[in-house]
Structure 1
Amino acid sequence: MENQTFSGDILILEGLMVSPDSSIPAFVFLLLIYIFIMVSNIGLVILTFMERSLQQPMYLLLCNMSINDVLGATVVIPPVLRDLLMSNSERYIRYSDCAIQAFFVHLYAGASHTVLMIMAFDRYIAICNPLRYATIMTTRMVVMLSVWAWGAAFVLVAILIGLSVRLSRCRSVILNLFCDNATLFKLSCENVFINNIYGLGYTVVLLGSSIGTVSLTYLKIASVCVRSKNRVLNSKALQTCTTHLAVYIILHVSGFIIVILHRLPDSFLTEKRTLAVVLGHVALPALNSVIYGLQMKEVRQRIMALFHNNRVALLDVK
């Protein structure tokens, strides 16, 4: 595949390394996951805005996570599905499209951290300052937090990708099944010292602020729960915080796997490594809707009520 001649704007994608016999099962499996991600996450957003009982700061902030999961899945899974139906010689992408995909891949990753940060802040106010919760977490505050979460991720990622796009290219093969920042600057033979410095700073700022914020809020929450003798408060705090913490841990585990795999030599680009990268971008959006949709009592009750009402309506029609 590397010996073929392409124009300077065309890049060759490695693609998902599966045998011809496995391509159709892999296609069906990923398609079903993608449909589940879209239906569950979009369904949660629609349900939140339809049901007045769910129009609370916690659920409105959760909509940010659902929208981000739809973005993250859409930017990766459909191109992979397309490549599964093509031969190796047809797996290519324009450089401009590659840069756009890389931008949204990192925007998804960055927003995952910033959105979880503002959700941790919401839980902190709800548990540690319950009497002031309504006055602090107003609609305006929810909008401001949401704008900050997306705006901060957008600016950081725009600089990250911009530094890679400025580099000249001497290679045309993407040793990955989708584009990200690492694959972009690996196409260049120039000195990428500035990219590495900013990339390191970007990682330190994003992960440092994320881990610091979540750790501090959970220490405060734990302190309040230890001092409180209110079992109802402690039980509710444990339920909501466990859900949030589970998503946060999954995010970090999948992120570290992808970062480590990018640091391995190209000789380790095996089917297992490629599959691990796919799962890192597919599993989290699918798990988020399950964790939040099924673990949160209010959401679960509204979903069950909708199904019950629809069933009764169908019986009445018959």
Structure 2
Amino acid sequence: MTTTTAAAPRRSTGAGARGWLARAGGQNLALVGALALILALFGSLNPNYLSWANVQVIAEAVTITGLLAVVQTVVIICGALDISVGSQAGLASVTSAMVFTATGSNAVLGMGAAIGIGGLVGLFNGAVIVYGRVNATIATLAGLAAYKGVAQLVSDGRAQGYVLNDPIFVFLSRGSVAGLPVMVWLLILVAIAVHVLLKYTDIGRNVYAIGGNDTAARLAGINLNKYLIAVYALSGMVAAVAGILLTARTGSGQPVSGSEGLELQSITAAALGGCALKGGKGGIGGTLLAVSLLGALSNGLTVQGINAFWQNVAQGALLVAAVVIQQRRNRERAVGLPA
């Protein structure tokens, strides 16, 4: 008696391609395509644009924004927003330089004080939101003004100290490892750490759960208050690291210059990278791609001698486009229009 074995069903090429696209993420592929288009466009207009030296310039220029965008991604996934990250970076920058000067050029103490201030500011933001029952957008919008004001008060509105006579700050600002600036390596390390936290730990899964459905997360036993405060503390500390890099790049503590507008850039990058502004969705990979795209666009406009004000126009347009795409993808009803 002959037995026949049924052949395993073949997966069609189309199904396999769709699975690969799903794993890669349509948003990320679109960002890769847009980035390639920008590189090709400006590369054809100026051959030096694609030189390794200019690529390093772009990478270094987006480091501070990238750090803030990475932590903004975590905040948004948790269903909140931090509009004060730019002011926090400015406050940390001033703190690092002033403590450095006051302690006889002790870079470690200066950086430690900046990160400590960042953590305290983040905890304060979280406490105001949780225990004061203030909307996250309003609370951090108030923080945007308040922390900028504090930085200007303690520094008298002027750049503070000079840190480029210290080897640690010099290494941060001018050092390189394996052909990449140290600042870029720092962004990569922070991004990897946050990615692992979000994707491979219970903490990260709980952050996604809170942003996706806070009621269900609370019923599942997740302490929403603890997580929200912790997320804002993380935001403050990473913003402080960005402030330290700002000090290293400029050679002094900057209360406003260099940090103003970073909050909008971080939110734009997170939204472009696929973060749902209502929370529960997003990832570090998409955010880094969006940061790279914004940096490549900004550098290309600068290389071509286009008015820098157009960069702000482009940034605002990209943010609106990212939100519109999210609304359409989620089939959400337009405000004021029938479903």
TM-score, with length taken from structure 2: 0.31
Q: Using CA pairs under 8 Å that are at least 6 residues apart, name the structure with larger relative contact order, 1 or 2.
A: 2
TM-score, with length taken from structure 1: 0.33
Select the structure that is richer in helix: 1
